[in-house]
Structure 1
């Protein structure tokens, strides 16, 4: 009799989006190889962080994207992230940064149901060109 649990732990586990397919690779592989087999996707690993952003002292889980030259290690779980989701996340972060910049410069953003309606420039605020 063998120990099947030991065999399961000795694999790189890759979770696919959408269909919740689980792929197991029984050797270390680079993120570039996984991305070439899954075009339009990035490889991410879930990291647990303890810090000021954590609620009630609970650790915060974040998805960190891997570089193509990073190696996927045996025993870890990785997740494929589609290109569109990565773009949406970057756009959301850029929007938050822009909102903070506008608030710091004295330009107010009026909101109606979560969407910006318009910009109002205060008299002493420097002019900002928003493209």
Structure 2
């Protein structure tokens, strides 16, 4: 009799976009998987379950299941026992565009709720000018930081004994 179920759990599972499932039996860098699948990124998939209790005295609970996907850097390791998904570069760029659009939309809503678009515009220009003024000082301090330390030793005279 064997313990084959334990060996199945100790794998890195990679789900391909076309439905194929790949299993690796050792930790692998994400860069290696990306090299073998050009045009794809590796993402860690985690299943999250959120339970919401009803406001009344009843026992009814509703659970919401959703997956959380986090893109991995090429230097990250794919760990045994985790599930990863290959995502095409087009999907990644589309998601990034959507995220930027949502952030801009939220900022626009916040600026209009504060008191108008003109005040937000003047705030942005003031921040940009302040950033420009701070940059030259940072360059001067970084130049000073690259200076090497040179010891100043006093000479010791050697006497005849």
Q: Provide TM-score, normalisation by structure 2.
A: 0.58
For residues 32-111 of structure 1, the aligned pairs below 5 Å read: 32-48=31-47, 58=64, 60-106=66-112
Closer, same or farther: CA 85–72 of 1 in aligned 2, 3 Å: same
Can you list the C-alpha shifts for 1:48-81, whole angstroms capped at 9, x where unaligned?
4578xxxx56464210111111111111111111
> Match of 2:117, SS?
coil
Shift, 1:5, TM fit: 1.1
User: 1:29-60: per-residue Cα shift (whole Å, max 9, x none)?
Assistant: 01011011111111111134578xxxx56464
Larger-Rg structure: 2
- Identify, as 1 or 2, the structure richer in helix: 2
Bigger share in strand:
1
Q: What is the SS of the residue equivalent to 1:46?
A: strand
Deviations 1:65-114 (Å, cap 9, x if unpaired)?
1111111111111111110101111111111111122223339xxxxxxx
Give the whole-Å Cα distance in 2 for the aligned partners of 1:33 and 1:101: 39
Provide the aligned length of Structure 1 versus Structure 2.
108
Give unmatched runs, 5+ long, in structure 2: 51-61, 122-161
* Change in CA separation of 1:20 and 1:50 when aligned onto 2, cut-off 3 Å: closer
Q: Distance in 1 between matches of 2:117 and 2:77?
A: 49
